[in-house]
Amino acid sequence: MTRQNFSAAALAALSLLCASGMSFGANGRIDAPQNIAKIVPGSTTDQQVRDLLGMPLRTMTFPARGLKVMEYDMYDYSDHILVEISIARGGIVRDVTRLVQSGS
């Protein structure tokens, strides 16, 4: 594939993604807070979280507790909010926590 063909293919794929209505944050940032309401503890999977919110800012694992925590940044007016999504064994969301970090 030539460089020009690759660029055209990449642009077409990006256009399709944007047209799909999906909203991903950049580098773990949540740009569509309404997607958090779609996460249902006890039934949403970790892959569904990534599909809704994109890749997390960071992921921490706690093997002794059987948990993985995915963290995202979100901003609401002047508040910085850290959103933590706990994933239990089996890859199912256990809970969603919003921690207000500060007001600027």
Instruction: For the chain, give the percent of residues with pLDDT over 90.
Output: 61
SS3 102: strand
What does the pLDDT read at residue 26?
58
Residue 16 has pLDDT above 50, yes or no: no
CATH of domain 23-103: 3.30.1450.10
Domains of the chain: which residue ranges? Answer: 23-103
What does the pLDDT read at residue 24?
45
CA distance 4 to 10: 10
Q: Is this prediction's pTM over 0.85?
A: no
